[in-house]
Structure 1
Amino acid sequence: MMTARQSLPLFILLASLGFGLPAIAADAAKPAATEAPAAKPSTPHDYETCIGLTDREAAKALDYARAWKSLGGGQAALHCEALALSSLGEADEAAARFQELADGMNAAPDETRAEVYAQAGTAWAVAGNLGKARAAYDEAIKRAPQEPALYLGRARVRALAKDWDGVRADAGEALAESPTLVDALTLRATALRNLGYPKAALADAERAAALAPHNLDALLERGRMRAATGNVAGARADWQDVVRFAKEMNRADDPAAAAAQGLLDKGK
């Protein structure tokens, strides 16, 4: 199986779809109070210190987490290990650790466990294992079926698999809970475009761009739909805005900006 470092094109696509590996709340991965306490480490460790290292020195964070885990750090140490691995670009191993953690959190609240399953799903997607990514998001949604971010995450996985009916369905579920969710509107527009519904796709893209006038992905998608429905001048204006806004926000290397520049260069 490919590691994250071996799949740069996938990383670019994931970035364009908004994937990330956010940390959960500091207490989320710690053993629940109903579990037997872990053996007290002989050397003091704590979750906040470990997580802080993942932002600055991921290799040190990994060493810290693994040493802590060997001393009985339990779920908190395992979660920090997973985050450190993801920071180091070791998505496949990070996904395995997130999955291990989520599968073992039997005493945790459903919402907390769902969030860790979502982290596993994102990491599996970055690693290129879309089957495991989808399964992890299925488990997350089973535990928190009213959480729009989980449907959005599964929609992104389905987009990577080009399951456009699934993308449309999941984006719709997210929008049912949060009607102004720009990323869900943009993803549903992409799905509708690929399913051959240009007017509906344009309506979603227009709403997304109206809600977030500087959102690069929304503008890129609206430009595509304007071009598809004959508004070439409007499409070029959107793509020019994507390139300009990306530079102004110091995001010139954003995948949306690269895609917009490519469309401008092709004269589409």
Structure 2
Amino acid sequence: MKATSIVFFLAAFAAAASAVRAQPGYEACVDLAASDPEAALNMAQTLKLMRGEEEAGGMHCEALALMAMGRPADAAPVFYLLAERMLGATDEMRAPVYAQAGDAYAIAGNPAQARRAYEQAIARMPEEAQYRVGRARMRALEENWEGVREDAAEALALDPHLIEAMLLRAAANRVLGYPKAAFVDADHAVELRPHDLEALVERGRVHLALGDRKSAWADWQLALDYANATGRDDDPAAAAARQYLSR
């Protein structure tokens, strides 16, 4: 989880009261979260004792520090509560905070809550393709493949070159029994990003669904070769390729 710049929507948090500007305390806290998250967490508690923008900044820095400490389950509700409290902010300012909550819930292994957060982000910024990809990932974990296909298709309508959306729609079509449609997306993803391990692994799955065992094994071996050559042996896609090849 990266500490994205959110100075503008923190300002909007207090916009109903008065015009505000970015506070040095918040900026210092966010910078500290990357190098010393425990110290940042302490600084965030001090900021939270204040009101308005400082309090909002403290909440956001707290969530970022918790993420940096490997505590996404604790960070997620802080992100979500911050987004809920930003009543004076525009939709464009609140949506990224809901999405951060979704990311944190997803990492924490809570797909239902993550989906809820992504839905809030989508409701406020329906033109943002990545939010639909986030919800599609959660729907995949919930095995709602029709929903995955719908979200991925909508994301691709917004951004036709979004690799993750292509792979999600490919997986959905494969599981739903449409391997030819799945191949179009999986093959396109590999064309756009030939060394993408997930794309190669998914295209291999689609080849197998089409009855082409030889091509499936070739894709999985290629994924494993790329992983070995680039020091990505521990990548989940490499692990999947290794498992398929061992069968």
Q: Structure 2-normalised TM-score?
A: 0.91
1:27 aligns with 2:2: no
**Of 90, 103, 106, which residue of structure 1 is paired with 2:87?**
106
Structure 1 stretches of at least 4 aligned residues deviating more than 6 Å after TM superposition: none
- Following superposition, the deviation at residue 129 of structure 1 comes to 2.6
Instruction: Please give the residue correspondences for 1:162-177 in structure 2 after superposition, counting only pairs within 5 Å.
Output: 162-177=143-158
How big is each residue's C-alpha offset from its partner over 1:193-212, in whole Å with a ceiling of 9 and x where there is no partner?
11111111111100111111
2:41 counterpart residue number:
62
- Following superposition, the deviation at residue 29 of structure 1 comes to 4.3
For 1:96, what is the secondary structure of its paired residue?
A: helix
For 2:73, what is the secondary structure of its paired residue?
A: helix
2:99 counterpart residue number:
118
Gap runs ≥5 in structure 1? 1-20, 39-43
- Following superposition, the deviation at residue 55 of structure 1 comes to 1.9
Give me the identity figure in percent. Answer: 48
2:231 counterpart residue number:
250
- Following superposition, the deviation at residue 28 of structure 1 comes to 3.9
Cα distance in 1, alignment partners of residues 149 and 170 from structure 2: 8
Change beyond 3 A, Cα 1:28–1:243: farther
Instruction: Please give the residue correspondences for 1:223-262 in structure 2 after superposition, counting only pairs within 5 Å.
Output: 223-262=204-243
Paired residue type of 1:68: L
Query: Would the aligned equivalents of 1:45 and 1:68 in 2 still touch at CA under 8 Å?
Result: no
1:157 aligns with 2:133: no
Query: Would the aligned equivalents of 1:22 and 1:119 in 2 still touch at CA under 8 Å?
Result: no
Change beyond 3 A, Cα 1:232–1:199: same
Q: Structure 1-normalised TM-score?
A: 0.84
Cα distance in 1, alignment partners of residues 83 and 6 from structure 2: 15
2:180 counterpart residue number:
199
Query: Would the aligned equivalents of 2:72 and 2:107 in 1 still touch at CA under 8 Å?
Result: yes
Paired residue type of 1:104: R
Cα distance in 2, alignment partners of residues 210 and 231 from structure 1: 19
How big is each residue's C-alpha offset from its partner over 1:136-187, in whole Å with a ceiling of 9 and x where there is no partner?
1111111001110111111011111111110000000000011111110001
1:96 aligns with 2:77: yes
Cα distance in 1, alignment partners of residues 70 and 143 from structure 2: 24
Cα distance in 2, alignment partners of residues 50 and 247 from structure 1: 38
Paired residue type of 2:93: T
**Of 126, 139, 149, which residue of structure 2 is paired with 1:145?**
126
2:27 counterpart residue number:
48
Matched positions, count? 241
For 1:31, what is the secondary structure of its paired residue?
A: helix
Gap runs ≥5 in structure 2? none
1:9 counterpart residue number:
none
**Of 194, 198, 213, which residue of structure 2 is paired with 1:217?**
198
- RMSD (CA atoms): 1.8
Cα distance in 2, alignment partners of residues 28 and 97 from structure 1: 18
For CA contacts below 8 A with separation 6 or more, give which structure has more relative contact order.
Answer: 1
Cα distance in 1, alignment partners of residues 138 and 2 from structure 2: 16
